[in-house]
Amino acid sequence: MSDADAQPLDAPTARAVLEYLARSIVDDPDAVRVEVEAGGRGDLTLNLHVAEGELGRVIGKRGRVAQSIRTIVRAAAVRDDVTVGIEFVD
């Protein structure tokens, strides 16, 4: 397996951006946690955990905040040369 075929196990830039955005939105920034898991097609999924009762702040009305977060983090993931999906975990 060559280096070009190896899939990255982490997306440090995308992860840092997601964590920064989430910490900026919630009341309890210390409870923010991001887990990285491998997806099915060589992509990564970033699972965002926040304190109980704060998921609504991160999702926003009609999911607009969540969609904005996804857009920004996907753009940051380009620097990591990986495709990411974001899951908001309760």
Determine the pLDDT at residue 2.
Answer: 40
- Cα atoms in the Cβ-side hemisphere of radius 13 Å centred on 27: 7
Domain that holds residue 32: 12-89
Determine the pLDDT at residue 8.
Answer: 54
Classify residue 2: in a domain, yes or no.
no
Determine the pLDDT at residue 26.
Answer: 96
How many structural domains comprise the chain? 1
DSSP class of residue 31 equals G
Q: Residues 43-81: pLDDT tens digits?
A: 899 999 999 999 999 999 999 999 999 999 999 999 999
Look at the pTM and tell me if it is higher than 0.85.
Answer: yes
**5 versus 39: which is more confidently predicted?**
39
Q: Which two tokens stand for residue 32?
A: 């923010």
Classify residue 6: in a domain, yes or no.
no
CATH number at residue 49: 3.30.300.20
